[in-house]
Structure 1
Amino acid sequence: MGHLPSSMGLGLPNLETLFLGRNELSGIIPSSISNSTRLSRIGLSENMFTGNIPPSFGELKFLRSLNLGYNKLTSESELPFVTSLVNCKLLEILVLGPNPIKGTLPKSLGNLSTSLELLDATGCQIKGVIPAEIGNLGNLVDLSLVDNYLTGSVPVTIGKLAMIQSLKISNTTIEGTIPGSICDLTNLVGLDLSKNKLSGSIPSCLKNISSLQSLLLDSNELSSIIPTTLWSLGNILILNLSSNALSGSLTQEIGNIKSVTQLDLSSNQFSGSIPSTTGQLQSLKELNFSNNRLQADIPKSFGDLLSLEVLDLSQNSLSGNIPKSLEKLVYLKYLNVSANKLRGEIPTEGPFANFTAEPFLHNDGLCGVSRFHVSSCRHTISTKHRFLYYGLPVMSSTILVAVFIIGLLRHRNKNRKLPIQVDSSPGVAHRRISYHEILQATNNLSEDNLVGRGSVGLVYKGILSDGMVLAIKVFDLERQGASKSFDAECEVMRNIRHRNLVKVISSCSNLDFRALVLEYMPNGNLDKWLYSHNHCLEVLQRLDIVIDVATALEHQTFKEKMIAYSL
């Protein structure tokens, strides 16, 4: 530990660089340092200097960088050293904090060098308002006024900082609204206005800042809804809107911010259901929707968040089961779904093998193994058991009716000649569709067009140039038997036409590609309607389905007989 001599600089008039950081130096900074008139870079950070910051720094005409951070420096109330630095026309970097400087920012701040790129006054205990003149620093790239006692509002002139990339004014007491002029900062990468008293709504024009990667507006008094335009920030990595008074529902557009790694909307007043498209945010590592008014189920699509490490959905009104799809989240270290209305069995595989009881507290309907401190699922009637108790007799009756119908249909066919079955549904004309057309229709077999998976291939939704919508079943020729399966399906489907069977429009085949072009069924597959919790069919509707399936099977048997007869 030592001091800088009071004669510092007297014998070094040509000194250009002075770096004495991390040397445990104490005492005051001697004003004689300005006698080294050629000084361009000064680094005195991370020492224990006390006293006022000498205004004599303003005599250093060639000064480009001044770093005084992490000391115990103070200043007079109007920060005269800032005014003195106006003479340093080449100044590019000014680091003042943390230091207990106190005082207020003078209007002369706006007269600092137009070359200034970095101004850091973090943790300086500065009071008063941010002067409007700050907008004159048009070449600022990085501005930090974090951890101060600032009052007033964010000046509208902040929108003049055209080159700025990082703007941090957090943990102060500024109030008012977020000025719309902030949307003019089109080079902005990081915006931190957290831990203030800002009110009003989030500006919808933030969508104009396409470069934005970090947006921190948490711990304010913001209200209204989240503008849907916010979900168009395609490069956003960190989004924190927590601890405000935001309300409304979360929209499906949330799935558009696919690059986001941290998303925190906790401690607001959001209601409605969690959008299923949240499962599309596959770069997410931390997701926090806790302490809101969210309802309905936890989306099964959360199982697609394979990078997720933290998931907090606590203190909502979520119902339904904990999706077993969450067992796939191998990186999940923290889970909290407590204080909801969840029911059913708690999963035990994957990350659930490491969880204790705390994440599941205050959900009266949950059951599972003893280490979760919930009742055993043997004391509850699961959905499958309810089906056995109540649904099986109904389904048995339905099957008997279907068998009876099939018997009647076959008996009828035995007593008639083999007529040609006429398809009573509107026909779909056969047409030639090339491999190139299939690629165009499916956006080069994009996953966005994928609608189903089978044992021998994939099914894509395709739209031809004339607007015709198709289902295209592409066979995976690397799988054993796929080529034979294609030939067999072509043989069967070209001979069978029935209103209850999907129509074949065309086929496409070459040495490396096999595909069937089918009529597109917009309502999804039968499995979804029979077994999904999101779709409900009455008994009579299920009976109609059984009859239609039986009729199609009977017709297929009839056609096979007819083909055999013709041979």
Structure 2
Amino acid sequence: MEKLKDLVYLNLSFNDLSGKIPNCGPFAKFSMESFMGNKELCGASRFHVMECKEGKGKPRNIAIFLKYVLPSLVSVIVFVVLLVWMLTFWKRNKRREPRAEDSLDVALRRISYYEILRATEGFDESNLIGRGSFSLVFKGTFVDGVIAAIKVFNLDVQDSIRSFEVECQVLRNIRHRNLVKVITSCSNLDFKALILEYMPNGSLDKWLYSHNYFLDIYQRLGIMMDVGNALEYLHHGHSFPVVHCDLKPGNILLDESMVAHVGDFGIAKLLDKDKATKQTKTMGTVGYMAPEYGCAGIVSSMGDVYSFGILLMEVFTRKKPTDEMFHGDFTMRKWVCDSLPGAIKEIVDSNLLTGEEGGQEIEECFLMVMELAVECTADFPEERITMEDVAGRLKHTLHKFTHNTS
């Protein structure tokens, strides 16, 4: 191995190896991180291993066989026997073909940097499908044909490593049909990426503001029902609440069936049960942040409820909370409140009112949604309703109007 001139990276840590570490060739530039967890190795002091002595580091062949080879051989034989048994059992009891998401789990369990490089054609600009504060998202096609979204973190940006770690921590503890699924990760000292389930219909932001796309009122209601279900799960679905902290159209992705999935948990918070926390550095998107979060850094599930209310207003009015018409005390919430209930035609997305069919029903649906949005965006957290109640109200609204149209 000393003659491998092009060897630039080596990681033999925690392999229970023994013997002398070479000191020439590429080994001259390796550090202790390459050999950690191997108590029987010896070599130069910079590797933090014991000093080599004559006769040490070269155990007898029989001892090596008994200590290292034999246990491994037995393990391999046991594994093969179990594998054959499981394959036989599976063939006899096969009840269904694996779903696409099952095949993703198998295909992408271990991904290397070079596989990602190949899948994205060297991170080519043509494969760039998203851009965030800490990362770029590329569409990647792997050699087996599997397509995934690859979120590559910019390690030169402050807090990007923390964002990667938070997202890994959150997404390995939660699982819901309306959350973007993380398949695996690729991480070393110089590169960090998440391999995500690919969403072929892109973001909600694209569908709201691109001229080539359109969502009718029932599609918008269904998407917000999906987002509400995701937030209800995050806040109430397991032992610790998760607060997303950055809910906006760009972080809501749509699959091939137009089912919404909430993504980007880079600044999310895991809280103790029914508690709030305070942070000194506020991170989020202006216009969507709750007042207590933007001003005082107070994080709670009620902050997500506020963001959801703003999102409801935006989705059905097609007006961003940062639009130039909103300034000073005249906010999106005030604009909506001042228009209820008599002037809703002035604020509803005009694209929803084209044509005469179902006009009254659309107005009634819009009014119910806006009243809910106002309740979500109360100035004080204790005055807002919970995501459990929000999801229940949306479900009732969706059932009422889609049932009438069917």
Instruction: Please tell me the TM-score bracket, short chain as reference.
Output: 0.3 to 0.5
* TM-score normalised according to structure 2 size: 0.33
Higher Cα radius of gyration: 1
Higher strand proportion: 1
Normalised TM-score (structure 1): 0.24
- Structure with the higher helix share, 1 or 2: 2
